Amino acid sequence: MFKKVLIANRGEIALRILRACRELEIKTVAIHSEADETAMHVRMADESVCVGPASAQSSYLNIPAIITAATISNVDAIHPGYGFLSENKRFAEIIEEHNIKFIGPKSEHIEMMGNKIAAKKIMEDNKVPTVPGLNDLSDMKKTLDFIDNIKLPVIIKAASGGGGKGMRVVNKIEDLEESINAAKIESKKSFNDDTVYLEKFFVNPKHIEIQILADSNGSVLTLGERDCSIQRKHQKIIEESPSIVLTNVEREKISNLCVKAIKSIKYEGVGTLEFLYENNKFYFMEMNTRLQVEHPVTEMITGQDLVKEQIKVASGNKIKFKQEDINFNGHSIECRINAEHPETFIPSPGKITQYHQPGGLGVRVDSAVYQGYIIPAHYDSMIAKLIVYGENRNECIQKMKRALEEYVIIGIDTNIQLHQKIIQSNEFLSGKYDINYMSKFE
Ligand code: ADP
């Protein structure tokens, strides 16, 4: 097992990883920007190193500074968390060149899945259903024929895309050319790659994803699904597991296909296969080769600590349990608490003057904020994840309602009220909501 791990992240996920390390008796090194000197992850780590000024580009994305911090603090592994450098193939490679273990998959797998066209091809080869699409858009006639076949609307997406960037929905054929060009320009700007592809645009799908855990011994397990359809501008807001719309047969079928595909590429670590789900059919969209923000709902219903497992398999340990040992119990929901106005969604950095977080049986708060903490304006507005567990979905929703009522955050705006509205709405209660749910709050 590793002796010392550098956590190349901030906020709640840095703390989440730190807690897992501590339980595994691994020493931790936090990195931080000048704006995060008083942050909780810095206070709690065994050591900390400042890696640059406030902007993420100069600090949490500053590879030379992070490698220097890892070298001087003599760590044997780096955990990237999510976001920042977690899916940066070059970062994973450089780390390994320095004889430091990257807690994540091999760089070749990051590269393979980082290209969504290549990822879809691998899934198709393994009989995983994918979103119908066309990769080569150079021949306009072929493109038009293809659209004629699958029918409008279609969506243009960036092959190297992420965070919802570089996507354009095309409803009218006369907008096609302009949308392709706009998606290319945005993709070049954001990802330095102007490769774009076309997909059928699903009008009312759910976003359902499958959690995978794999070790270097060839063992691949699935930990069920998460329904992440409550999203705004392609950013998830509420996630739950299990999904109320899936039958056991459907769940088992898609999970088995995912396991087979992941085995075929000899993937290691945690990973998530994201699907659109419409009319009882799954369509693979992309794979994330890292820990997801919403991993806690899976932990709550399986009782498995995904971060500890991820660290253990990265250090070369075999997974100690088998698929049949994983029991799915009860229901879990996560609400992402953002520092933003509940109606305008404008970020609200600033000082938290009063803070009280909910508790009680089945209530978990993953956060790095505290009373008196000043939320910097430089980073993501998510400040906490409120995760609840109930024996069934109804109990879970009741518990979330109660926990949200109890949550006091004064001094800044938050989306707590918005969460109250969502979880008590008829669509949410019925479970039949889709990815367009949030458009009514626009
Ligand atoms: P990113 O990596 O940028 O997050 P994804 O491919 O995961 O991009 O897509 C993000 C979101 O965009 C999905 O969760 C879904 O809401 C929407 N989306 C993507 N592709 C389609 C599609 N073909 N039809 C309908 N919605 C889509």
- Please give the Cα distance from 193 to 88 (Å, whole number): 14
Confidence category of residue 80, pLDDT binned at 50, 70, 90:
very high
What's the longest Cα–Cα distance across the chain?
Answer: 61
* Residue 108 domain-assigned (yes or no): no
Q: Which of 103, 122, 156 is the last residue of a domain?
A: 103
Residue count (the chain): 442
Based on the domain organization, do 278 and 425 belong to the same domain?
Answer: yes
Structural domain count, the chain: 3
DSSP output for 394-405: HHHHHHHHHHHH
What single letter denotes the amino acid at residue 388? V
| Residue 163 clears pLDDT 80, i.e. is over it | no
Which pLDDT value is given to residue 442? 78
Reported as a single tens digit per residue, the pLDDT across 6-43 is 999 999 999 999 999 999 999 999 999 999 999 999 99
Ligand 1: does its nearest atom lie under 6 Å from the Cβ of 203? no
CA contacts within 13 A on the Cβ side of 182: 12
- The predicted model gives 293-297 an average pLDDT of 98
Ligand 1 center–CA 258 separation, angstroms: 19
- The predicted model gives 187-215 an average pLDDT of 95
Secondary structure (H, E, C), 107-161? HHHHHHHHCHHHHHHHHHHCCCCECCEECCCCCHHHHHHHHHHHCCCEEEEECCC
Measured in whole angstroms, the distance separating CA 300 from the mean position of its chain's CA atoms is 17
| Residue 155 clears pLDDT 90, i.e. is over it | yes
Backbone angles phi, psi at 51, to 5 degrees: -110, 5
Q: What is the percent of the chain with per-residue pLDDT over 70, rounded to a whole number?
A: 100
Ligand 1 center–CA 321 separation, angstroms: 33
Say if residues 30 and 47 touch (Cβ distance below 8 Å).
Answer: yes
Reported as a single tens digit per residue, the pLDDT across 245-287 is 999 999 999 999 999 999 999 999 999 999 999 999 999 999 9
Which pLDDT value is given to residue 272? 98
* Residue 122 domain-assigned (yes or no): no
What single letter denotes the amino acid at residue 146? F
Which pLDDT value is given to residue 327? 96
Average pLDDT, the chain: 96
Atom of ligand 1 nearest to the CA of 234: 11
- Domain with 79 in it: what CATH number? 3.40.50.20
| Residue 89 clears pLDDT 80, i.e. is over it | yes
Atom of ligand 1 nearest to the CA of 164: 3
| Residue 118 clears pLDDT 80, i.e. is over it | yes
Measured CA distances, 97 to 42, 107, 207 (Å): 27, 11, 37
Q: Where are the alpha helices (DSSP H) in 248-344?
A: 248-264, 295-302, 306-314
Based on the domain organization, do 88 and 226 belong to the same domain?
Answer: no
Torsion of CA 101, 104, 107, 113, to 10 degrees: 180
Say if residues 126 and 260 touch (Cβ distance below 8 Å).
Answer: yes
Atom of ligand 1 nearest to the CA of 116: 6
Based on the domain organization, do 410 and 286 belong to the same domain?
Answer: yes
Based on the domain organization, do 215 and 260 belong to the same domain?
Answer: yes
Ligand 1 center–CA 161 separation, angstroms: 10
Ligand 1: does its nearest atom lie under 6 Å from the Cβ of 155? yes
Which pLDDT value is given to residue 283? 98
| Residue 165 clears pLDDT 90, i.e. is over it | no
Based on the domain organization, do 264 and 289 belong to the same domain?
Answer: yes
* Residue 117 domain-assigned (yes or no): no
Based on the domain organization, do 141 and 242 belong to the same domain?
Answer: no
Reported as a single tens digit per residue, the pLDDT across 384-423 is 999 999 999 999 999 999 999 999 999 999 999 999 999 9
196, β-bridge pairs: 158
Q: Which of 167, 182, 200 is the last residue of a domain?
A: 200
Q: What is the percent of the chain with per-residue pLDDT over 90, rounded to a whole number?
A: 96
Best mutation site among 120, 197, 285 for ligand 1 pocket (most ligand atoms within 8 Å of CB) = 285
Best mutation site among 232, 234, 277 for ligand 1 pocket (most ligand atoms within 8 Å of CB) = 234
- Catalytic residue, chosen from 168, 251, 290, 336, is 290
Based on the domain organization, do 274 and 360 belong to the same domain?
Answer: yes
Ligand 1 center–CA 69 separation, angstroms: 36
Say if residues 180 and 156 touch (Cβ distance below 8 Å).
Answer: yes
Atom of ligand 1 nearest to the CA of 236: 14
Ligand 1: does its nearest atom lie under 6 Å from the Cβ of 201? yes
290 in catalytic set: yes
Which pLDDT value is given to residue 228? 98
Ligand 1 center–CA 275 separation, angstroms: 9
Based on the domain organization, do 90 and 223 belong to the same domain?
Answer: no
- Domain with 413 in it: what CATH number? 3.30.470.20
Q: Which of 103, 119, 147 is the last residue of a domain?
A: 103
- Angle in degrees, CA 393, 398, 402, rounded to 5: 145
| Residue 160 clears pLDDT 90, i.e. is over it | no
* Residue 273 domain-assigned (yes or no): yes
- Looking only at the bridges linking them, the beta strands covering 408-410 and 363-367 are unpaired
* Residue 125 domain-assigned (yes or no): no
Based on the domain organization, do 87 and 157 belong to the same domain?
Answer: no
pTM over 0.85: yes
Residues 6+ apart with CB under 8 A from 390: 330, 331, 332, 362, 396, 397, 398, 399
Based on the domain organization, do 281 and 300 belong to the same domain?
Answer: yes
* Residue 54 domain-assigned (yes or no): yes
Which pLDDT value is given to residue 166? 82
- The predicted model gives 175-180 an average pLDDT of 95
Based on the domain organization, do 232 and 367 belong to the same domain?
Answer: yes
Say if residues 60 and 33 touch (Cβ distance below 8 Å).
Answer: yes
- Please give the Cα distance from 298 to 303 (Å, whole number): 8
Which pLDDT value is given to residue 441? 85
Reported as a single tens digit per residue, the pLDDT across 343-372 is 899 999 999 999 999 999 999 999 999 999
Based on the domain organization, do 141 and 16 belong to the same domain?
Answer: no
Q: Whose CA is nearest to atom 1 of ligand 1?
A: 162
Whole domain around residue 95: which residue ranges? Answer: 4-103
- Domain with 142 in it: what CATH number? 3.30.1490.20
Comparing 420 with 163, which gets the higher pLDDT?
Answer: 420
* Residue 181 domain-assigned (yes or no): yes
* Residue 189 domain-assigned (yes or no): yes
